[in-house]
Structure 1
Amino acid sequence: MKKRVSVLLLIYVFIFSFTSLTTVFSQENKAKTEFQVKGFHLDLRIQVMTPKALKSFAKELAGFGINTLILEWEATYPYEKHATISNEFAYTRVEVKSFIDYCEGLGIDVIPLQQCFGHVEYILRNERYGHLKEDWKEISQVCPLKIEDNKALFKDLFKDMASMHNSDYIHIGGDETYLLGHCNACSAKAEEVGKSKLFVDYMTTMSDIILELGKKPIMWADIVLEHPEAADDLSKDIIFIDWNYGWETNHFGDVGNLQQKGFTFWGSPAIRSSPDNWYITNWDKHFNNQRDFIPYSRNAGYKGMVMTSWSTSGIYGLTVCDEGYKVLDMQQIRNVYPLSGFRILIASYAEALKNKGAIDPERFVISYAAERFGLNEKDVAELWRALSISRDLIFKGKPLAEIMANSNTAHEIFYKLKPLKNKKEFEHYRLINDLRQFYLATYQIETMYNSVEFSVGNLEDLKPKLEALKIESKKLDKRFKKLHQGFLYDSEIEDQNNIRNLAFNILYNRINKTRN
């Protein structure tokens, strides 16, 4: 009997030990494959959200399991010592603090993003900072050799950000420094030590400020990947974000090389990026970006994932006067549909973070359509078909008739489907596609207007078509306003409608010879 008990005890101990070890290994494996940072990047350069909309959006992100929000305030931030930078949509410091406290209550860490090298048009447009420019006609980038003046400015801005944000991190930008080595002094320096050293020396100064503040610096990885020669001089405390919006891995350079040097990487796909604009939303591109890049990043040992969503490309056209090339105003070149229309892509991102493998976009959309909109088995497949229809740029060479036919097919599907719930969200799909149809109809008239056969005798033929589109344009304006009231400021809604209608209005006035 004792022998039997002993055997049973040994079996029990073995089973318990095996189960415990399995659990430990499982937890260790999960820790290795789980992203520590599950983030979202919020771009407030244009399409500025109201404080109420910001909190509502943060609550939804928290529900999706997002634990980090990188906030690119740009000129909406209420700077104290440098109030010149803040624009008409700037939040108050009470609003900023209230939002950060609200996010922290949801378990979301708010990381401020303060550009300090390129993409600083919102700073350099002001005469107060004009002496920092790399080029006197270009306001996108500071000259990295004006180190003491830059250090004084950005130390103030970083300290301001640190005083309002409790996060351990500050993102210092550093991407797309297209003018690197451009001015005479920088050109000579780059010739002497290389572009990598020119970039690294400057960003080391900026990152040292962050470290002195007791924070950890984050940088976009593109420039150091393109010019990695001096990377060893950078602090290993810097976290690099490899942004990839659907291209091959190692697009900018060899990530593994920098990882071997001891640098930590996070990844960034996108739900709004080029060539998206008012008239093109590449749904399939963004779904596939999540499908491909997130599993790759997990396998490559990236510690975090941050979904980007760009309101614009960050390239601007300038309105200037001839007195010293003074910048009066600047207008973004690329405009896209607001963030409000892309909940399905955010939900897909959340699901992709949970998946240990690659998400299946079609299966996800079908499931989302059934659960979110109450669509039946047949209709859920139709929603996927509408979203995955090709949406080509016109200059890519595909015949306009074929492009218009694809848009018409999507239009028919969106209006055939009848959601049982969350109808406002579904209305965004319809409006996004209808804006594309309006654009294509305008382009068709513009093509006739620019044909070699066009003469004064053809003007009257185009006027009825333009009048019909003008009526449609006003309807679209009203629909856009209705969907975005409370999400964007009213003046921002009006501005977005004006930007979207600009090309049509110019064409309309030219053909109708409007003088008033």
Structure 2
Amino acid sequence: MQCPPWPKGKKLVHLDLKGAPPRVEYLHRLIELFSQLGVDGLLVEYEDVFPYEGELKLLQATAQPAYSREEVLSMQEFAKSKRMEVIPLVQTFGHMEFVLKHRPMWHLREVAQCVGTLNPHKEDGVKLVMEMLRQVVELHPNLSTLHIGADEVYMLGEGEESTTWLASPGRTVEQLFLGHVTKVAKAIKEAWPHMTIMMWDDMMRGMSQDTLKACGLVGLVQPMLWDYNPNLDVDKTVSLLEKYSSAGMSDLWAASSFKGSTSVYTCVTNTQRHVDNHLQWLQVAASLSAGVNLKGIAITGWQRYDHLSVLCELMPVALPSLAACLQTLLHGQFSAEAHSKVTDMLGISSVEVEAMGRMSAGDSLFPGRRLAELIVELDSLLNSGDVRFFDNSMYVRGWFSPYHLQRKSVNPLITMQIHSQATVYLAMLQQKAEAVREEMVQFYPDSTAQEWLEEHVHPVTAPLQKLTEDTGACVKEMMP
């Protein structure tokens, strides 16, 4: 379906650094590519790779070094030279896992078992958030916009202090949420009067227009409505944006997704899925009334669902998706013209990373292409039924069951066949995994390569490894 192109406002790309933080040289190559793709700014979620100092130093990652102050500044300088704005995203309520996981911060959790949600009753919580923001603002000279997160504030209202607070008549969890966010937003305006403040919208979706009007956030924040679904409900989204606007929050943002929203452990990006999400957003933009001021769209690329979940698709496998999504916004549809623009720019034969073809010499506009190819090959091998379910095959289940293994009573001929097949699969996987690791460390810290392999490859190789050892040992017992 043909829509008008994305109406106006900025196109931001979200850089989620809470997993697989790219080496700085690679970050610069990505920024170069983004600028050629028509991106206006970066929404940067540093989390634990920001060089926090003083009492907040404990927030810095330990698996790999945080970026240095010089690196954070050079990234901004480079983005600025490409006419791209940098907007830091600092979580201030929900998704504070990287802060609240540390023992000295445990007392600031809303409930003990929820590592993400800050207790809104503790003055120390607001102090902590403001100190994080102060350090981030200080390292972003001339900053004009901040994103304060505030999505998915799970279990809010379930802590002891909240339960007591809510026991008074007329008090609601909605007020609890709005109270904390308003406090943070006002403190930001006091410290930096010219700062524009963005926040995620999901905690406000169920609120009435009257509640929103009266909450004190009107004129203070610009909500960013996120929906990454390829079947996004257009009518519902339009009426939600209209509701925010009628409540006085007429400056609004959309947030779509180019990676990291398929499943929590996806390794290879499906471009069509993300293009479909953008086609739905185009319909939303085309259906809004004149009173809604859509400031732009943030195209998110999640690297983990949260600080404590596994790594999902790395940037190289998602670059065709990002380029395709941007072209979809520019053309109002994913036309043949938009398609060929992507394939020409990136030098690929298909926008689906699984079918893009092997590399030719001209690799200029696709930083990390070889890594993308290797991940696709390894992923395909890891998900092949023969490899994944080898220990469920007729021969293993029929002639090498736990019963046989325990008694070391096996048919040597068949067990040798099992052993030899398992060895072949294992060698293939190890060889491919090693190639991925060698390529990955050129773009990412060693710890990222290690983590990625342990999360995505090890669960498949470990059972094969055990099977080769067990079959080998049993055959020895049964042969002269």
TM-score by length of 1: 0.76
Deviation readout 1:196-219 (Å, 9 max, x if unpaired): 111101111111122112212110
Q: Which amino acid aligns with 2:363?
A: N
> Whole-Å Cα distance in 2 between the matches of residues 116 and 315 of structure 1?
14
- Structure 2 gaps of 5+ residues are 406-414, 471-480
1:455 and 2:401 are equivalent in the alignment:
yes
Deviation at 1:127, TM superposition (A): 1.4
- The DSSP-based 3-state class of the residue aligned with 1:308 is strand
Structure 1 residue 186, shift from structure 2 partner: 2.0
Equivalent in the alignment of 2:390? 445
CA distance in 2, matches of 1:38, 1:245: 16
Secondary structure of 2:83's aligned partner: coil
Matches within 5 A, 1:14-53: 34-53=7-26
Unmatched tracts of structure 1, length 5 or more: 1-29, 317-331, 388-409
- On the 8 A contact 1:124/1:139 being kept in 2, the answer is yes
The count of corresponding residues between Structure 1 and Structure 2 is 432
- Deviation of the 1:241 alpha carbon: 0.8
Distance 1:464 1:222, change over 3 A: farther
2:273 is matched with 285
Distance across 2 between alignment mates of 1:53 and 1:433: 20
* Distance (whole Å) between structure 1 residues aligned to residue 138 and residue 126 of structure 2: 18
Q: Give the equivalent residue in structure 1 for 2:32.
A: 59
Residue aligning to 1:231: 212
How much does 1:34 deviate?
A: 3.9
Q: CA deviation at 1:341?
A: 2.0
Contact map agreement 1:438 1:469 (CA 8 A) in 2: no
Residue aligning to 1:156? 131
Distance in 1, Cα, partners of 2:397 & 2:430: 31
Q: 2:302 aligns with which of 310, 319, 339?
A: 310
Q: Alpha-carbon deviations, 1:419-449, whole Å to 9, x = none? A: 4633976545543432332232343235559
Sort the Cα spacing of 1:452 and 1:297 in 2 relative to 1 into closer, same or farther, 3 A: farther
Residue 59 of structure 1 deviates from its aligned partner by 1.9
CA distance in 2, matches of 1:275, 1:447: 28
- 8 Å CA contact retained: 1:337, 1:432: no
Distance 1:367 1:489, change over 3 A: same
Residues 31-430 of structure 1 mapped to structure 2, 5 A cutoff: 34-81=7-54, 82-88=56-62, 89-146=65-122, 148-165=123-140, 166-190=142-166, 192=169, 193-214=171-192, 215-228=195-208, 230-232=211-213, 233=215, 234-246=217-229, 247-249=232-234, 250=236, 254-263=240-249, 264-276=251-263, 277-297=265-285, 299-300=287-288, 301=292, 302-314=294-306, 316=308, 332=309, 334-355=310-331, 357-360=332-335, 364-370=338-344, 372-373=346-347, 380=349, 383=350, 419=360, 421-422=362-363, 427-428=370-371, 430=373
Give the 3-state SS of the residue equivalent to 1:173 in structure 2: coil
In 1, the alpha carbon distance for the partners of 2:148 and 2:370 equals: 37
Identical pairs, percent: 19
Question: CA offsets per residue over residues 17-38 of structure 1, 9 Å max, x none?
Answer: xxxxxxxxxxxxx9x9643222
Equivalent in 369, 374, 380 of residue 431 of structure 1: 374
Change in CA separation of 1:448 and 1:371 when aligned onto 2, cut-off 3 Å: same
**8 Å contact kept, 2:17–2:45:** yes
Letter in 1 for 2:343: A
The RMSD of aligned alpha carbons is 3.0
Contact 1:481 1:493 in 2 (8 A): yes
> What is the identity, as a one-letter code, of the residue corresponding to 1:35?
K
**How far did residue 315 of structure 1 move?**
5.9
Bigger share in helix:
1
Instruction: Give the Cα separation in 1 of the matches to 2:219 and 2:197.
Output: 10
Does the aligned pair in 1 maintain the 2:429–2:461 contact within 8 Å? no
Contact 1:419 1:426 in 2 (8 A): no
Taking a change above 3 Å as real, the CA distance of residues 182 and 447 of structure 1, as seen in their structure-2 partners, is farther
Q: Single out whichever of 227-236 and 72-81 deviates more from structure 2.
A: 227-236
**Match of 1:443, as an amino acid?**
R
Partners of 1:452 and 1:134 lie apart in 2 by 49
What SS does the aligned partner of 1:303 have?
strand
Question: CA-to-partner distance for each residue in 1:226-257, whole Å, 9 max, x for gaps?
Answer: 34563221232301111111222336982211
- Confirm or deny: 8 A CA contact 2:259 2:321 kept in the other structure: no
Q: CA deviation at 1:57?
A: 1.4
Q: Give how far 1:280 is off.
A: 4.8
Highest RCO, 1 vs 2 (Cα 8 Å, sep ≥ 6): 2
Query: How many Å separate the matches in 2 of 1:281 and 1:62?
Result: 21
Supply the AA of the counterpart residue of 2:422: L
Contact 1:414–1:429 under 8 Å retained in 2: no
**TM-score under structure 2 normalisation?**
0.81
SS at match of 1:116: coil
Q: Which moved more, 1:201-210 or 1:478-487?
A: 478-487
Query: Counterparts of 1:224 and 1:372 in 2: how far apart (Å)?
Result: 39
Instruction: Give the secondary-structure state (helix, strand or coil) at the position aligned to 1:240.
Output: strand
Closer, same or farther in 2 for the Cα pair 1:370/1:102, shift >3 Å?
closer
